[in-house]
Structures are given as C-alpha cells and as structure tokens.
Structure 1
Amino acid sequence: MELHIKNILNDMEKDGYDGYLLANFSNIQYLSNYKPTSFAFAVIKENPVIYTSKMDLEIANRDSTIEIKEFESFSSMIDDLRKSIKKLAIEPSLEYGTYEKFRDDFDISAVDFVNKQRAIKSPKEIFKIEEATEIAQQAFRQIKIIEKHEYGAQENMVAFELDKYMRENGASEPSFETILTSGANSSLPHAVPTPDKITNPVLIDWGAKYNGYCSDNTRTLVYTEKQHEIFDIVAEAHNKTIHKIKPGMECWEVDKIARDIISEYGYGDNFIHSTGHSLGLDIHESPSFSSKDKTIVEKGMVMTVEPGIYLEGEFGVRLEDTVAIDNKARILGKLPLVIE
C-alpha cells in the first residue's frame, strides 16, 4: 500500500474513523495515480477503493494503484460501504448535495487528512516540479522577450507563443493561464494579456505542467529609473527571504521577512498578496507564506517566493521563484532575476 495512504489511515485511526470519502480530482490522483475525467469517489479504508463512472473505467483500471469499482448508484455504493464503515470522514470541499447522500447512513465529519500529506513532496515529486520548471524557463528563453518588446509585439500573441514553446518542450499544458502584461496593467497582479503592443515594464508570470506537476515563475523587465528602484527593492525582498527560509520556522515568519523589507522602503501598502504558496499537482496548494498561516516549514515542502510592489495606475513589479526546502531553500531552475 502507498505510503501516503498508510499515513492517512494512521491519522484516521487516531480519530476513530473507519473510512475517508474523497471526490477532489487532484486528491484522488495523488493517492491512486488515476485522475478522473468525469466523476469519481475514492474511499480510503483498510482496503481502499475508487467508485468511478463507466466512461472512466478503462483509464481508471489502467492507471489506478488501488481497486476500481464501477459507480452504479449512490444507494448501491452506500450499501457496499456500510459493511465496513460506521464513522466516515469527508473532505471539507465535498459538495453539500453529495454530503446529503451519505449523512443518514454514517457518523460524518469534515476532516482534512490529505493536504498534510501533499504538503511534503517526495524526491520523485520534487524532480517532476524541477523538470516542469526547466521546461517553462527554456520556453521563456525561446520567446526572446527583449526583442519582442523592442518591436512592439502584442501581449496576447507572445503569451500564446510562450504556451506553445512549453508544450513543444514537453509540458502537457501551462500550469495556469499565462500572465503577460505591461505598462499600467502590470499593477494588476492577475492581469490578462491584451491585443495591445507590449510597453514597459513587462511582467510575465507563467508555468508548465509536467507529468501532472506544476511550475511557477515571474519575471519583470524594467526600463525607467523609478521602475529600476522598485525592482531592486523587490529583488532584495526575494533574495533575503529565500536565504532565511529554514525548517522549523512558521509560514507567517517567512511572509514577515519579505513584508518587513518592502515596508522599510515605504511600500508596505503596495505589497497586496501573500509572499508565496505551495504547489504540486495543483498550482495553489497548502500551506502558504501568508501572515495568518502558522504551519511549520518542513523539509520536503516546495513553495513559491513572490514578493511584489504594485503602484496603482503606474506599474507593478513581481519576482517569483519556486524553492525546494531541505536544510535551507534551494531555488529550482537557473533563470536570473535580471533578463538581458
């Protein structure tokens, strides 16, 4: 049995649960190697099982490391589970309508047993994230963004080209919708590429998905004196924060390092998001480097560090790398902060 499932079973046993019901596609993939394309329910118990639609049976039987059964109806599934389960944990994200199907037959509580496991990556998982990073960074080099800026290429067409190169380099898809924005729109952290010509500064936030795992980077190209000034502050926050990350810290302490540096320069109110987040099968996972997250930093975590300063109506600068945490934080990939 997979180590992740064993660990979850141990946690379940401590709290007296006989079974754990999951419907989140990424969680099912994490525990079984099968990613549903329609719908599925995984039940973690002494003999774990996945109930899936007939449409998915072939792919599930091909990929899953745990038993597969065809989902016929809720009543037949419940009858099956009642043979071995009385106290049932459900993942907190389970839809209320689905919860209603089970609540009369089991002692049910919403519990999160999976994120604790997913937060710590295995060496294989870290390798996949590192490969995804290399793919994305090579694609970034190929678009030659400085040349694109010089002759005024359109934002959305360069974003499209970046996505194309990532696929050509081995990505199954981008990790998320590529952000390539410039000028005043760069002050919007999640701006959408437009048909307009690239101006300055240029902010690119992109990532590749490789073998199911995501990467995430951001670079900003600056041109004016003020843009360079802001860039240097963000770069200082980025570099010093990564240098100070170590196991045993709490996540909020990492966020505070970056936030304090930016605040010292008078731009604390312009740093309008958290310092970073975990990533893996999903681009945003738990924990996060945010002011309220008290999760202990541990070896095996893979997190982004992405401080930014956003001047409304003027421009924004964000610099982001993904780090794997061992005795200290190691940056994945070799793309410099300054693009030349």
Structure 2
Amino acid sequence: MDYNKLHLDNILKDMEKDNNQAYLLTQFTNIEYISDYKPTSFAFCIIKDNPIIYASKMDMEIANRDSSIEVKEYEKFETMISEIKEEGIKNLAIEPSLAYSTYEKFKDDFKIESKTYVDKQRMIKSPSEIKNIEKATEIAQTAFRQLDVSSRSETEDVLAFDLVRLMIENGASKESFDTILVSGSNTSLPHAVPQHKKLETPILVDWGAKYNGYCSDNTRTIVYTEKEHEIFDIVRESHDKAIKSIKPGLKCCEIDNVSRDIIKEYGYGDQFIHSTGHSLGLDIHETPGFSFRDDTIIEKGMVITVEPGIYLEEEFGVRLEDTVVIENNARIIGDLPLI
C-alpha cells in the first residue's frame, strides 16, 4: 500500500471539509511522514491538489532522491508566495507549531487557520511503522540488558553514555531522547540529568533508541530498600492495571483515570505529577496521550506509552514505563521484565 498517497488523500479530504485550499508544513518529521524526505536545513511543504516541497539548495540532492512529492529549489518567500497565489489559493492552513516569524510572511496574503491534519494521520501507525518501533525497542532493551548497573561502581553520566553507545552498537541510529540514568534523590525529578557521581539507590533509567527514524521509550527503576519496594509495588499495580484496561473505543483520559486512581488510593495522588503516557513514532512525543485532558477515542494501530510514577520530593522517585500498541487490547512492545 502507498501510505504516502493514502495520508495525502485523507489530509486533502479534511482540508476540503474546512474549505482550506492548501496546507503549509515546516516541521521536519511531518514533511518526512508524508514524503519520505527529512529536511536537514529547512523546507516548506505545500499540500494541495498538486503538492510541492520547496527545499533549500543544500538539500536538493537528498530531497530529489527521497521525496515522493515534487521538489523545487527554494529561492525566496516572495517567489514561493507568488506561485501559491497564482493557483488561486486564498485559504491556507498551517501547523500550530509554525514559527511566528514564518506566519508573518504569509498572513497578509492568505486567510490562515491552524490545523493538525498531519497529526491526525500520525495517530494510527501502519504495520511498517509498528515494525520500526518494535525494532527500536528491541535494540534499546538489548542494550539495557548488556549494561552493568548492578555493581554500582560507575558514575551516572558514564553509564548513561555507555547505554547510548550500546544502543548504537546494536543498530540504533542514535538515542531517541536524552538518556536519563539517575539515582538517589535525583530520581524524584522526572527529567533529571545524569550527574558525575557514583550510583545511589534507587536507580532510574529512562531511555530509548531510534531506528529507521522511529523512537522507542522505556523506563525501569531498580529498588533496594523496603520503602523503595513499597512505592515500586504501587507504581507496578498502576502500570499493570492501566495496560489491562486499554481497549479500542475508550477515551484516553479513562486510562489516565485508571492509573491515577490506584496511586490515589494509596495516598500518593499528589506525587503522580505527569500524565500516564504519550504516543510516539517519528517524534518521541506525539498525540494522543493518556492524560486527563485528552478525550481522544482509542483506536487500533495507536502506539502509546504507559508510565505512571510516584515522586517523593528530596527522597526518591519510581517510574515504570512500557510502550503498547493497540490491537483488540494493548500489547506491550518488547519483553523486558519490570524487575
């Protein structure tokens, strides 16, 4: 199946409903998603009946090689805008992430509306996308198994570096986000940065690999003391029951409620300080997510993380995360035990 054409056709149908004649993309992964060309400099993709990508001169070789959409060398804004207007286009949709400085270049010539047409398509992963995420997860989990954290003889930053190196040695193009490998009281910070210090307890590792452009994401917390085990067991119950509750037709916020309510029952509701999960794909954070704010209906083909956590300020934190693909229920990607 030609997924690029399918996605373009679906976007054009959504545009027609909103009476938008063209849709401007500048976000690299959105352009890659619908054309297979990932810009390295800058690019303007105009989705319309005859879509076109204006690529920078330095990108023309790679764009001509990879893009399923016609490519033209970018000259200047005035030329691009003139060519769009010559087609009679007056209503222009833009990505919400479009830089304001770029918006200013278009606002006087078009009626502009912010739309998430590509995000809507990216919610449902194709079989090949799921295979890439599965491979990225396999690479990341293999690297984690090869990492020696049990001796606690190395520093956080060195071990984080070693984990990235192992992922690359196992086939990753790079890490899918800055690896978090922290210990002791730093684990109470959800986005802590590895320090040049010997490992304390507990040890929290949040890591992912990138393969063929697609991300993976896992978190494991290694606990030692009685209190750490107590918190771990609560987070594990929240993690497991949330995953078991996932099925098509429910709202994403309902899964967040399942996960959050368990932690609340144990008296730690105020210490669960982020959403239960997020989608991933070409980007590490995509939509929808398991959040109390997100009433998106869960559908087959979505790929979403489940990552409840409890964070005791200045003491320690525990987070457990797996990525699931939605089938008749939720199937965990990978086979790494929680402990």
On whether the aligned pair clears a TM of 0.5, the verdict is yes
Corresponding position: 1:5 with 2:8: yes
Aligned amino acid, residue 265 of structure 1: Y
In structure 1, what is the equivalent of residue 229 of structure 2? 228
In structure 2, what is the equivalent of residue 46 of structure 1? 49
In structure 2, what is the equivalent of residue 68 of structure 1? 71
User: 3-state DSSP class of the match of 1:2?
Assistant: helix
What is the rounded CA distance, in whole Å, between the counterparts of 1:200 and 1:158 in structure 2? 15
TM-aligned CA deviation for residue 109 of structure 1: 1.3
User: 3-state DSSP class of the match of 2:39?
Assistant: coil
Aligned amino acid, residue 259 of structure 2: A
TM-aligned CA deviation for residue 181 of structure 1: 0.3
**Aligned residue runs from structure 1 range 283-298, under 5 A:** 283-298=284-299
Aligned amino acid, residue 283 of structure 1: I
In structure 2, what is the equivalent of residue 111 of structure 1? 115
In structure 2, what is the equivalent of residue 35 of structure 1? 38
Corresponding position: 1:282 with 2:283: yes
Aligned amino acid, residue 271 of structure 1: F
Deviation readout 1:89-108 (Å, 9 max, x if unpaired): 11111111211211222222
**Aligned residue runs from structure 1 range 121-270, under 5 A:** 121-147=125-151, 149=152, 152-270=153-271
Corresponding position: 1:91 with 2:95: yes
Deviation readout 1:17-76 (Å, 9 max, x if unpaired): 111011111110111111111100000001110001101101111111110000001111
Larger deviation, residues 76-85 vs 195-204: 76-85
Aligned amino acid, residue 36 of structure 2: N
What is the rounded CA distance, in whole Å, between the counterparts of 1:128 and 1:328 in structure 2? 20
User: 3-state DSSP class of the match of 2:150?
Assistant: helix
User: 3-state DSSP class of the match of 1:282?
Assistant: coil
TM-aligned CA deviation for residue 274 of structure 1: 0.4
User: 3-state DSSP class of the match of 2:86?
Assistant: coil
TM-score, normalised on structure 1?
0.97
What is the rounded CA distance, in whole Å, between the counterparts of 2:51 and 2:289 in structure 1? 30
In structure 1, what is the equivalent of residue 328 of structure 2? 327
TM-aligned CA deviation for residue 208 of structure 1: 0.2
User: 3-state DSSP class of the match of 1:116?
Assistant: helix
What is the rounded CA distance, in whole Å, between the counterparts of 1:256 and 1:97 in structure 2? 39
- Runs of 4+ more than 4 Å apart: none
TM-aligned CA deviation for residue 144 of structure 1: 2.4
In structure 1, what is the equivalent of residue 27 of structure 2? 24
TM-aligned CA deviation for residue 261 of structure 1: 0.3
What is the rounded CA distance, in whole Å, between the counterparts of 2:287 and 2:126 in structure 1? 16
Q: What CA RMSD, in Å, does the superposition of the two structures yield over aligned residues? A: 0.8
Aligned amino acid, residue 272 of structure 1: I
Larger deviation, residues 74-83 vs 131-140: 74-83
Deviation readout 1:256-296 (Å, 9 max, x if unpaired): 00000000011111101000000000000111111111111
What is the rounded CA distance, in whole Å, between the counterparts of 2:284 and 2:41 in structure 1? 21
Aligned amino acid, residue 142 of structure 2: Q
TM-aligned CA deviation for residue 314 of structure 1: 0.8
Deviation readout 1:214-252 (Å, 9 max, x if unpaired): 000000000000100100000000011001100111111
What is the rounded CA distance, in whole Å, between the counterparts of 1:187 and 1:15 in structure 2? 45
Deviation readout 1:135-178 (Å, 9 max, x if unpaired): 0000000112213x2xx211100100000000011101000000
What is the rounded CA distance, in whole Å, between the counterparts of 1:192 and 1:100 in structure 2? 37
Aligned amino acid, residue 7 of structure 2: H
What is the rounded CA distance, in whole Å, between the counterparts of 1:106 and 1:310 in structure 2? 48
What is the rounded CA distance, in whole Å, between the counterparts of 2:312 and 2:108 in structure 1? 53
Corresponding position: 1:58 with 2:58: no
Unaligned runs of 5+ in 2: none
User: 3-state DSSP class of the match of 1:336?
Assistant: coil
What is the rounded CA distance, in whole Å, between the counterparts of 1:102 and 1:185 in structure 2? 46
User: 3-state DSSP class of the match of 1:82?
Assistant: helix
What is the rounded CA distance, in whole Å, between the counterparts of 2:313 and 2:21 in structure 1? 53
What is the rounded CA distance, in whole Å, between the counterparts of 1:92 and 1:47 in structure 2? 23
